[in-house]
Amino acid sequence: MAQDMTYARYLALDELLSAQKPLSDRHDELLFIVIHQTKELWLKEIIHEVLLAKRLIAGGDVEPAYKALARVSRIQTVMTLSWDVLATMTPADYLSFREDLGTSSGFQSHQFRTLEYLLGLKDQSFLKFHAEGSPAMAELTAALASPSLYDVAIAQLPRHGLAVPDSALHRDFTQTYQPSPEVEAAWLAVYRDPKAYWELYQLAEKLVDLDDALVTWRHKHVLTVERIIGGRPGTGGTDGVGYLATTLRRRAFPELWSLRTKLR
């Protein structure tokens, strides 16, 4: 009954607030856990919104998807800001409990990879961190197999009379999309005449907001990592800052970036 509902019960606060389990007695470990857990909660919400946006766009309902996409980029801003909270942790604070983390790393976050897959960045090498038959693997493989947010956006171009090659529409969705000059030309037509293609133009700029915010988040991550561990390797097995710097070149919506060079 609704009358029996309490704030704590509705939000499952007993479970939520007992899910922080520091392994050391170091003061800063709680912050480290809370920042990571908050990020996982926000990722859950972002995935929820991106799935909605994908469904709406695929069904030709582009305008209602703007709301979901705008929400995603606002959440991304909050996630990027949270690096400033983490940066109050000094290198010595972190090193005092780092060994307890073993080989665990954000590298293994299945929700982070699910988001990358939903956007279109489909590097399958990250699947190995998850057990066959686990809920994490099920979420990842579903995101991998389905058309990405960018695939459904590209599929809208022909509906507005803009030609795109069949290979961009009917492709193996488990692979990262490869940019094509024809798709770039179609988006260029949208950017050269926004009034004629207002719906697509707004959609494209919302997608660029997401890509921009993801790269901004990656920048702050690599900077904070350098500030806290310098040139040390990561707990997840990469060389650390060197690896993270390579991720800054990833773009989920490549032609929406490349077309800018050709605009006049």
| Interface contacts to ligand HEM, rule CB under 6 A | 35-36, 39, 86, 94, 105-107, 109, 112, 221, 225, 228-229, 234-238, 240, 243-244, 247
Cα gap 44→14, rounded to integer Å: 20
Contact 153, 61 (CB under 8 A): no
The DSSP output letter for 233 is: P
Residue with Cβ nearer ligand HEM (47 or 86): 86
Residue with Cβ nearer ligand HEM (205 or 226): 226
Cβ atoms < 10 Å from Cβ of 128: 7
Please report how close the Cβ of residue 199 comes to ligand HEM at its closest, in angstroms.
32
Contacts of the segment 226-231: beta carbons below 8 A, 24+ positions apart: 227/87, 227/91, 228/87, 228/89, 228/90, 228/91, 228/94, 229/91, 229/94, 229/95, 229/98, 230/91
Residue with Cβ nearer ligand HEM (149 or 157): 149
Please report how close the Cβ of residue 252 comes to ligand HEM at its closest, in angstroms.
12
Residue with Cβ nearer ligand HEM (120 or 240): 240
Please report how close the Cβ of residue 124 comes to ligand HEM at its closest, in angstroms.
14
| CA nearest neighbour of 211 among 120, 136, 124, 137 | 120
Please report how close the Cβ of residue 191 comes to ligand HEM at its closest, in angstroms.
29
- Give whole-number Cα distances, 146 to 38, 55, 113, in Å: 27, 11, 14
Residue with Cβ nearer ligand HEM (43 or 162): 43
Give phi and psi for 178, each to the nearest 5: -100, 130
Contact 122, 144 (CB under 8 A): yes
Please report how close the Cβ of residue 73 comes to ligand HEM at its closest, in angstroms.
17
Residue with Cβ nearer ligand HEM (201 or 243): 243
Contact 168, 180 (CB under 8 A): yes
Please report how close the Cβ of residue 113 comes to ligand HEM at its closest, in angstroms.
8
